[in-house]
Amino acid sequence: MKKLKQWFFLALTTVVLTGCSLPGLGGNLSGHKTISITSGNTTEMQVVGYLVEGMINHYIDTETNVISNLGSSSMNHQAVMGGDADVSAIRYTGTSLTGELNEKPETDPDKALEQVKKGFDEKFDQKWMPSYGFANTYAFMVTREKAEELGLEKVSDLEPYIDDFKVGVDSNWINREGDGYDAFVDTYGFEIPDLYPMSIGLVYTAAANNEVDAVLGYSTDGRIISEDLVVLEDDLHLFPPYDASPVVTHKILEEYPELDKVLQKMANTITDEDMQKINYASDEYLLEPKTVADEFLKDNNYFEDAKPYVEPVDKGVLE
């Protein structure tokens, strides 16, 4: 797989290019439809939106447009369903499974992926593409120093120390159904005596400053890098999978059949650690998401050498 270079430091020298578009393979042909792409209001969603736009511009001779700052998965969904967009650059399995599809949470990543693929195809006439390779989910984490000192690698490893640990968590998580605190106790079999509710944006600094011993944050947040934290494995699978994928309408695939291969090129190309670095580059150095996306695509040669992705088929799920 690709070698991730220190592209985000090199990006500091390219801020002046923020307003520039990636070149396509030629001029736009008269009458071609603009492919509209939704992203979101987080750094991660915005960067991925421009990654998708950059790939399309590189491989397909057409105009593109990114609809940014959509505040939720449902808003992305409505934009596509209403005909205002053709591609959702990033959707998460766990979010769409319980949201747009209104189904029960599923902790098995493969089953969750098959369910959203089947559901979006049948209910919405859309194709849920393979995952980019990363998942942005809730995750417990500790400082690197504490992880090495106590040998902490997975959530279960916290149990022997939990009576002496202060744990900072997202305020919304405590009463959350399905994968909140009650589900944590049921799944892992121990309680957290000293639980400190706080804004999700504060947990990373609280851990780094040793104000708490462990925190619950998001697995691809760039502050994991800046605060030198270690993500603990959710070894008993408390949290539903939130694997990230693009979603595209069958209608636009009929008009641009090559779009399917372009998006397939991005399958399994971005790891959780890559996404942490991408988010870190944009947030830490105040780089525009488009600048970071452009640099990442150039550094990875637009995934030119990506092998064709063969999607596994679970006949039991699809029948």
The string of pLDDT tens digits covering residues 161-172 is 999 999 999 998
Cα separations (Å) of 124 from 39, 175, 249, 265, 311?
19, 31, 8, 24, 20
Is the separation of the CB atoms in 255 and 34 below 8 Å? no
Nearest to residue 84, comparing CAs of 316, 262, 249? 249
pLDDT tens digits along 207-243:
999 999 999 999 999 999 999 999 999 999 999 999 9
Residue 282: which pLDDT band, with cuts at 50, 70 and 90? very high
Residue 264: which pLDDT band, with cuts at 50, 70 and 90? very high
Q: State both tokens at 230.
A: 């270690």
One fold for both 35-135+243-300 and 138-231? yes
Q: In this model, does residue 29 exceed pLDDT 70?
A: no
The average pLDDT across 72-88 equals: 95
Give the CATH number of domain 138-231; options: 3.40.190.120, 3.30.465.10, 3.40.50.300, 3.30.70.260: 3.40.190.120
Per the prediction, the chain carries an average pLDDT of 88
Q: What is the pTM of this model?
A: 0.84
Half-sphere exposure of 8 (CA within 13 A, CB side): 19
What CATH code is assigned to 35-135+243-300?
Answer: 3.40.190.10
Per-domain boundaries in the chain:
35-135+243-300, 138-231
pLDDT tens digits along 6-19:
444 444 434 333 33
